[in-house]
Amino acid sequence: MYQCGYSVTMPPMVSVFTARIGWVDELTGPTAPSSAAYESAARAVYCPIVLPSGCVIRRVWWANGDVRTGGATIEVGVYRDSGYGPGSKVVSGSAAQGTATQVQFVDVTDTAIPPGLYWIAIVASTATDTTIMRTSALALSNPPSFRFAEESASPLPATATPVASAELNIYLCGFATTASP
């Protein structure tokens, strides 16, 4: 047998929390995610992921918190990198917030993407009575190292206009490479 390098398999669920793909794995987030209010209505949050191989995005998803009576529309998308920052949108999907403390999936057009640096985006149309599972980075972390933000970004724009963010929140959301379950 002859091996050169190693094979990489993309997992079914990809997020900022996914080991060896997302930055939470680099100990920026010291605690497991928990339910918390979304930080600001219509503020998009962009966090980087590194895909070691190509894959097909079939669904986007997020983890609802324990309060979702605000009826917010949640949108999650994937953006290409543009010189260390999110650039053009690859794909996104949205829906009214559903069952509490569950992962909510939205089908999107199957979209193949090559390996590389991408940005996972999430936005909630309202922050009132809207909770999403999230963790917070270490207080001494430098937010631009793991997230950017954009105001008035619901729905998610075709091209991001990211700004440095002082917040430390990292949301549990991403995409699925499988159509089901």
By CB under 8 A, name the binding residues for other proteins.
1-9, 11-13, 15, 17-19, 22, 24-27, 29-34, 61, 63, 99, 101-103, 133, 135, 172, 174, 181
For 131, the token pair is 């909770």
Question: Would you give the DSSP letter of residue 69?
Answer: T
- For other proteins, give the closer residue by CB, 160 or 176: 176
CB of 67 to other proteins, least distance (A): 15
Is residue 32 within 8 A of residue 165, CB to CB? The reply is: no
- For other proteins, give the closer residue by CB, 8 or 117: 8
CB of 82 to other proteins, least distance (A): 26
Nearest CA-CA partner of 103 in 11, 15, 10, 9: 15
- For other proteins, give the closer residue by CB, 83 or 140: 140
Is residue 135 within 8 A of residue 33, CB to CB? The reply is: yes
156: exposed, middle or buried (Cβ count in 10 Å: 0-12, 13-18, 19+): buried
- For other proteins, give the closer residue by CB, 27 or 158: 27
For 82, the token pair is 């543009």
- For other proteins, give the closer residue by CB, 4 or 166: 4
CB of 84 to other proteins, least distance (A): 22
Query: For residues 139 and 171, what is the distance between their CA atoms, to the nearest angstrom?
Result: 16
CB of 12 to other proteins, least distance (A): 5
CB of 165 to other proteins, least distance (A): 21
CB of 37 to other proteins, least distance (A): 18
The 3-class secondary structure across 89-133, one letter per residue, is EEEEEEEECCCCCCEEEEEEEEEEECCEEEEEEEEECCCCCCEEE
- For other proteins, give the closer residue by CB, 62 or 148: 62
In the block, residue with structure tokens 């009575």: 129
